[in-house]
Structure 1
Amino acid sequence: MSATTARVAIVTGGSRGIGRQVVSRLAADGYAVVVNYASNDAEGRSAAEEVIAKGGQALAIRADVSDEVAVAALFDAAEEAFGGVDVVVNAAGVMTPGTPLVDLDLNVLDRVMRVNMRGAFVVAQQAARRLRRGGALITFSTSVTKLAHPGYSAYNASKSAVEGMTLILARELRGRDITVNTVAPGPTATDLFLGANTEEAIARLAAQPPLERLGQPADIAEVVAFLAGPARWVNGQVLLVNGGII
């Protein structure tokens, strides 16, 4: 692999759903992409091989985003393979909807917060230390922080924390020429979303935006690509990407 690639991106949660679409989209823009995944080796390798088959450069690295040692090793691998890191997209996350706060198992709360909040913090910390000038960090929140759907208390809490952290980091990186933004999708047709909701709920949510459909991973990936590259004057923002649902 070349150590002279012009632009290099790390995408956490890059083996499935929105993350995988982001990998494909950034690779199409000429990025060398490091595909991070949590556990499924086959899916991680497949996402990287798909990029390579199209003539791009990619590397699959397994790492738990909440583990600071593993995330540091992930960044080490990216730097060793490609010479540096320019864009970090933290798309890794878990969703456990449907249970009211009063009945929520605290073990579930701990898992959601560990992956979504601590994971975002750990990845952002490494990104802040390692991103090259002209770089971008893109974290993921959710439009549920505004919609406040019942049954999403843990998920909403974890993603609200991500938003607050991201906006502060954008200001802490003054003088580095690094943008820091959050993308907050609405209902999006991923395995994570479709598997966590009933058919009735999916139909209801799809009907809510004025565009009258669910978002697609490609819709979200287009916004990520915009923030990763040309959108140098968008900084310290939460971008709601939900078809006008709110």
Structure 2
Amino acid sequence: MLKSDMTEGTNSALQQLDYHDAFNNAVTLPGVDPDRMVYCGTSFSGGNVIHAAATDKHIKAAIAQALSVSGETRSLEFKDQIHELFNNRARIATSGQRDRVLCITSTAEEAQTGTAPVLFSDLHAYESYSQIPDCGGKWGNYVTEQTQLHMLWFEPQAYMYRIAPKSFFMVIPGNDVMVKTSSQAEAFGKARELKQMLFLKGAGHFDIYQGGWFERNIRVQVEFLRRCLTE
């Protein structure tokens, strides 16, 4: 199972190629069956999985959870900044200076308003990202401004139908405010068979990584893998 996630300078096109390169390396390792490879991704990298799985005919199946489905939809939250994002790109070309944008707000009070000029402005994101240090993770609260620009061109839902006939499993949190639940459900409808969906009613975008939501999520994913990899 190959997995990636968002980094400081997110470039979706390069990350999609990373999946292919990881596959090419993995199949050279002892004990790896090239006919039982699965691409897996979550959130932004869930969208990368859609692109990668749609074009790579080597893999057996794909799993995407709480996935970012549309750069067009996501960019509505920072539509007033788009002009400056292109100006920033021009400055990079001449001076190499890369501006940054915060991922989450500095305080819970700011997050409660949901209007701060950050990448993820909602309280659920603030509470979830704030737990990273407690897990031993090293993380800086920023991405480059060009990450936002790359989001404009990121449109995984346009590739959903091309995953078939490979098996596809999608996890949709029922109370996702970061990537709206309705947009994920609409994208799933564009996928063709063979496909399976796990709808976690009441779960938020980050709830699927811990506790009871995680246990249920992983249990069904494991069942999916056992079935599709033995067919």
Superposed pair shares fold, TM > 0.5: no
Give the alignment's TM-score, normalised by structure 2. Answer: 0.39
Highest CA radius of gyration, 1 or 2? 2
